[in-house]
């Protein structure tokens, strides 16, 4: 069971690093910081990564070295890899003595007032490595029950879980009367016993909002009930509409956290709102309504986690769980079930949930809300036959009290019956394992126009609090009958006549439509005003024809952010909107003009030129120069993508003789490696020599007689595929191969010279995927 407080809303950012953002400059007094946060009702979750700085005199390093806890290289010496602190060593959590050593450190760490611990980078991630992790040849001295001494390839997948387990055990040592909260990036089957999981570093795009639903559901099906995405997206700048929509959906996920990276716009729920004429801006209002929903549903969400603890059932499930026999429900990607609640959302910027055709599972599903229906919030339906508990919308879960009014939302099934349960305990600690809880089963039944609600069964040693019970019987169309009484007593609601029922439902539906029509929708905004750079959630242009699908963002460098070979399904290039992917520069220095300017779309679909799909882009790179790029998939050869790029002089001053500054056209694609250790570049040079260039080579230039003779090929041995890049050797004067972490750049460089109207620089090249025997 997670501590109940961990089910509230989490706010995080890389990095809150100033007194204006938090309290004191760079956190000089963490204990006081935490005390102040606790006084305001906040909990504090601190991050611990596995990489320990390789520095004598640092007490953690000295202690670990003395106890011989580090993962070793094949030669028996500790492996040193670079991560955030610089050169680091890594604990070998496969050993019980190392887990105990780490747990003791965590115990001491918690004394600072730590409420939860976030284990990040625990795959383990390692910088400056082609595989993004440590070498498979590294040695773990694992416990016999795990398999004993083995190389890293044997233990890699369980490393993150074992770290989370060690952290969990350390928190229990610190206080055995509290349930640890651990959040882990890496996990394995069974890691749900020790930690929650989030879906990783996502992007502020509508595509990643859409993907977040299926990712949470799949984690649930894999045994991890407590998961969720970075609401609003980690990388990039969310627009108000994207953030508000994401918050509406994210507030219904098991784990609810907003998070973003450094140098992005503020991604807090209140960051998109400001007071104007005493009206709260739309995004902030949607976020407020969404989080208020979550806190009202908290008694039910907590009960779902108890059921997950007892029976292993996911908290959020795919829609088809309501009717496994209906194959059409398996295709739904914008809805899910939160227990008996059907959540129907829109993950498209131009579509409102209330304007979509809602596909419901068979049976009775009754729409409900909290007088908060909004075009940017998901629609909610309760399954007939269900009773769910609701609570007051507290500011934080520390305000909850057992004597708070309890509400029950009731939806009768076809037989006029319903049932539900609520689990209650201290919300922390392990008293519930000793019977210190109250599990109440409620049933409702319609007989002779009277609905009777009563307690049918109770479990646990807790006595029922003396509190008021508010029963809300759903009638359809959002209408309901209300009855107040005392919890534990038999309550009866008299059903209205058919005529009265019709009036109630009609009035409720009218009120619902009025709320939606008068609600202030979050406006469409292509850019975040006054914030960093161009908006990253604008929709890329897609070229799709023949064997290829490409996505292009003209507004940031005209870059290609996705290049997918359709027959194989291989995405050879995939990047963020604002950096990497396919870029072009105008100088020999890195990040020279051309890669970030806004490009204009000059032409699209050049039918007269014979292309099936084509786009012509042009960007001003200063000094009277433009960088022009045409991307096309020819009808006569749909297997290839052709890219023709030029630096052209448009308005070069007469004082320079008509010639520009020195420029160099650099084609700079960064390809994604699906199998980094099994990928290499192959080519035959002009002098006839054959070359195989593997990731271990780092960065290599090729020019003169060893320049590739018009083509080179990126080969993935596991896939049996090669990406061929053909070019004109009279245009490319130099080639560069640069291996990164799971990526490779295959760069083409023109000569470095001035250009005039009569003498532009040009590189024409093409890509094709072929099979490799």
CATH of the domain at 625: 2.70.98.10
Q: What would the mean pLDDT of 384-406 be, rounded to a whole number?
A: 95
pLDDT 10s digits, 335-373: 999 999 999 999 888 888 778 888 899 999 999 999 999
Parallel, antiparallel, or unpaired: how do β-strands 666-672 and 743-749 relate? antiparallel
Contact 151, 142 (CB under 8 A): no
In the prediction, which pLDDT does 714 show?
A: 97
Domain boundary among 464, 485, 518: 518
List the single range of 8-17, 533-542, 715-724 with lowest mean pLDDT: 533-542
567 plus 680 within the same structural domain: yes
Last residue of a domain, one of 518, 552, 580: 518
624 and 503 co-located in one domain: no
Query: Please, what is the end-to-end C-alpha distance for the chain in angstroms?
Result: 52
DSSP 756: B
Give the burial class of 553: count Cβ atoms within 10 A of its Cβ; 0-12 exposed, 13-18 middle, 19 or more buried.
buried
**What pLDDT shows up at residue 50?**
98
Q: Are residues 597 and 705 in the same domain?
A: yes
Q: Are residues 559 and 644 in the same domain?
A: yes
Q: Give mean pLDDT, residues 16-26.
A: 52
Q: List, as one string, the DSSP characters of 174-190.
A: H-TTS---EEESS--TT
Mean pLDDT within 480-488: 96
- List Cβ neighbours of 561 (8 Å cut-off, separation of 6 or more): 540, 551, 552, 553, 573, 574, 575, 576, 577, 581, 582
Is 428 annotated in the active site? no
pLDDT at 188 over 60: yes
Annotated catalytic residue: which of 68, 82, 201, 678? Answer: 201
User: Based on the domain organization, do 623 and 744 belong to the same domain?
Assistant: yes
Boundaries of domain holding 678: 541-771
pLDDT of the residue at 591: 67
> Torsion angle, CA of 686/687/691/696, rounded to 10 degrees?
-90
| pLDDT of residue 535 exceeding 60 | no
Determine the average pLDDT of the residues in 275-297: 82
Domain count along the chain: 2
Instruction: Please indicate, yes or no, whether residues 496 and 642 belong to a single structural domain of this protein.
Output: no
**377 dihedral zone (left: phi>0; alpha: psi -120 to 50; beta):** beta
Q: CA angle, corner 527, sides to 524 and 531, nearest 5?
A: 135
Over range 383-395, report the average pLDDT. 96
Q: Do 251 and 372 contact (CB within 8 A), yes or no? A: no
For residue 763, what is the enclosing H or E element?
Answer: strand 761-771
Give the whole-angstrom CA distance, residue 496 versus residue 503: 10
- What is the C-alpha to C-alpha distance for residues 386 and 371, in angstroms, rounded to an integer? 20
Percent of the chain with pLDDT over 90: 73
The pLDDT of residue 538 is 63
The rounded distance, in Å, linking the Cα atoms of 276 and 175 is: 48
Kindly state the tokens that stand for 82: 């670079």
What value does the mean pLDDT of the chain take?
90
Kindly state whether residues 349 and 478 are assigned to the same domain. Answer: yes
pLDDT above 90: residue 78:
yes
Q: How confident is the model at residue 608 (pLDDT cuts 50, 70, 90)?
A: very low
Q: What is the pLDDT of residues 637-665, one digit of tens each?
A: 999 999 999 999 887 654 445 567 889 99
- pLDDT for residue 172: 97
- Which of 49, 54, 120, 282 is flagged as catalytic? 120
In order of 36, 44, 270, 396, 428, the CA distances from 41 in angstroms are 9, 10, 18, 6, 16
Residues 378, 344, single domain; the answer is yes
Q: Is 144 a catalytic residue?
A: no
Q: pLDDT tier at 41 (50, 70, 90 boundaries)?
A: very high
- The one catalytic residue among 49, 54, 115, 123: 123
Q: How far apart are CA 374 and CA 521, in angstroms?
A: 8
- For residue 559, is it within any domain? yes
The sign of the CA dihedral 79, 83, 88, 93 is: negative
On whether residue 55 sits in a domain, the answer given is: no
Q: What is the pLDDT of residues 397-410, one digit of tens each?
A: 999 999 999 999 99
Query: Does the pLDDT at position 129 exceed 90?
Result: no
How far does Cα 677 stand from its chain's mean position? 26
The answer on 666 and 750 residing in a single domain is yes
pLDDT tens for 240-273 read 999 999 999 999 999 999 999 887 888 899 888 6
Residue 263 lies in a domain: no
Residue 371 lies in a domain: yes
Is there a single domain that holds both residue 509 and residue 551?
A: no
Residue 412 belongs to some domain of the structure: yes
Inter-helix orientation angle 282-296/298-311, to 10°: 50
Cα distances (angstroms) measured from residue 659 to each of 276, 651, 666:
53, 10, 19
In a domain, 599, yes or no: yes
Regarding whether 604 and 484 lie in a shared domain, the answer is no
Confidence check: pLDDT of 611 > 80: no
- Same structural domain, 501 and 566: no
Catalytic annotation on 261?
no
Tokens of 528: 């975040």
pLDDT at 174: 96
Among 485, 518, 551, where does a domain finish? Answer: 518
The C-alpha torsion from 644 through 645 and 650 to 653, rounded to 10°, is -140
Asked, for residue 295, whether it belongs to a domain, the answer is no
∠ CA 144-149-155 to the nearest 5 degrees? Answer: 90
630 Cβ partners below 8 Å, 6+ apart? 614, 615, 616, 617, 642, 643, 644, 645
Indicate which CATH number applies to the domain containing 471: 2.60.40.1180
* Structure confidence at residue 23 (pLDDT): 46
- Does 225 have pLDDT greater than 70? yes
**Residue 31 banded pLDDT, cuts 50, 70, 90:** confident
C-alpha closest to that of 124 among 51, 65, 178? 51
Structural domain contains residue 88: no
């Amino acid at each position: 069971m997670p501590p109940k407080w961990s089910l509230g809303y989490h706010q995080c950012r890389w990095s809150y690093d100033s007194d204006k953002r938090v309290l004191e400059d760079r956190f000089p007094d963490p204990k006081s910081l935490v005390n102040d946060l606790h006084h305001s009702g906040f909990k504090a979750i601190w991050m611990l990564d596995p990489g320990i700085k390789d520095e004598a005199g640092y007490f953690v390093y000295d202690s670990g070295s003395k106890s011989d806890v580090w993962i070793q290289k094949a030669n028996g010496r500790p492996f040193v890899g670079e991560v955030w602190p610089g050169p680091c060593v890594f604990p070998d959590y496969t050993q019980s003595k190392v887990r105990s050593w780490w747990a003791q450190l965590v115990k001491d760490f918690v004394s600072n007032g730590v409420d939860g611990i976030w284990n990040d980078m625990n795959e383990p991630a390692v910088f400056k490595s082609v595989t993004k992790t440590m070498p498979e040849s590294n040695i773990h001295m694992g416990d016999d029950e795990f398999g004993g001494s083995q190389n890293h390839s044997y233990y890699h997948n369980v490393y993150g879980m074992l770290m989370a387990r060690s952290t969990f055990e350390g928190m229990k040592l610190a206080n055995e009367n509290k349930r640890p909260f651990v959040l882990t990036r890496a996990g394995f089957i069974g890691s749900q016993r020790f930690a929650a999981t989030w879906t990783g570093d996502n992007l502020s795009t509508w595509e990643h909002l859409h993907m977040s639903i299926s990712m949470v559901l799949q984690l649930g099906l894999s045994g991890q009930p407590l998961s969720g995405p970075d609401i609003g997206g980690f990388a990039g700048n969310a627009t108000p509409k994207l953030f508000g929509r994401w918050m509406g959906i994210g507030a219904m996920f098991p784990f609810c956290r907003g998070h973003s990276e450094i140098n992005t716009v503020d991604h807090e729920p209140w960051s998109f709102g400001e007071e104007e004429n005493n009206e709260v801006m739309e995004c902030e209002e949607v976020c407020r309504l969404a989080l208020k929903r979550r806190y009202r549903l908290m008694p039910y969400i907590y009960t779902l986690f108890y059921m997950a603890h007892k029976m292993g059932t996911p908290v959020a499930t795919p829609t088809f769980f309501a009717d496994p026999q209906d194959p059409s429900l398996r295709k739904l990607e914008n809805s899910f079930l939160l227990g008996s609640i059907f959540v129907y959302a829109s993950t498209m910027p131009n579509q409102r949930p209330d304007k979509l055709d809602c596909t419901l599972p068979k049976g009775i599903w009754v729409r409900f809300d909290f007088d908060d229906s909004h075009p940017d919030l998901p629609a909610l339906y309760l399954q007939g036959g269900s009773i769910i508990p609701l609570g007051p919308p507290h500011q934080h879960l520390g305000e909850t009290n057992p004597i708070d009014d309890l509400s029950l939302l009731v939806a009768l099934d076809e037989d006029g019956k319903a049932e539900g349960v609520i689990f209650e305990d201290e919300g922390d600690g392990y008293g519930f394992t000793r019977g210190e809880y109250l599990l109440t089963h409620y049933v409702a039944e319609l007989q002779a126009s009277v609905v009777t609600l009563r307690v049918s069964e109770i479990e646990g040693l807790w006595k029922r609090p003396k509190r008021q019970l508010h029963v809300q019987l759903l009638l359809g169309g959002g209408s309901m009958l209300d009855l107040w009484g005392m919890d534990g007593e038999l309550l009866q609601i008299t059903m209205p006549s058919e005529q009265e029922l019709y009036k109630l439902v009609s009035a409720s539906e009218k009120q619902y439509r009025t709320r939606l029509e008068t609600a202030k929708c979050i406006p469409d905004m292509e850019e975040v005003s006054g914030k960093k750079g161009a908006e990253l959630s604008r929709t890329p242009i897609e070229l799709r024809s023949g064997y290829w699908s490409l996505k292009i963002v003209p507004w940031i460098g005209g870059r290609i952010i996705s290049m997918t070979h359709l027959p194989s399904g291989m995405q050879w290039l995939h990047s963020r909107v604002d950096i990497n992917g396919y870029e072009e520069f105008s100088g020999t220095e890195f990040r020279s003009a051309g890669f970030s300017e806004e490009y204009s779309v000059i032409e699209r679909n050049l039918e007269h030129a014979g292309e099936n799909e084509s786009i012509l882009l042009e960007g001003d790179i200063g000094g009277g120069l433009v960088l022009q790029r045409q991307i096309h998939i020819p009808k006569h050869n749909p297997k290839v993508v052709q890219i023709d790029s030029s630096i052209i002089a448009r308005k070069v001053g007469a004082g320079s003789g008509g010639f520009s500054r020195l420029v160099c056209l650099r084609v700079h694609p960064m390809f994604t490696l699906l199998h980094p250790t099994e990928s290499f570049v192959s080519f035959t040079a002009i002098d006839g020599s054959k070359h195989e260039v593997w990731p271990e080579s780092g960065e290599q230039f090729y020019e003169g007689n060893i320049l590739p003779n018009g083509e080179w090929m990126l080969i993935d041995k596991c896939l049996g595929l090669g990406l061929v890049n053909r070019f004109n050797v009279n245009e490319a004067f130099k080639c560069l191969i640069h291996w990164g972490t799971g990526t490779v750049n295959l760069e083409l460089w023109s000569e470095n010279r001035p250009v005039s109207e009569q003498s532009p620089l040009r590189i024409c090249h093409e890509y094709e995927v072929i099979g490799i025997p």
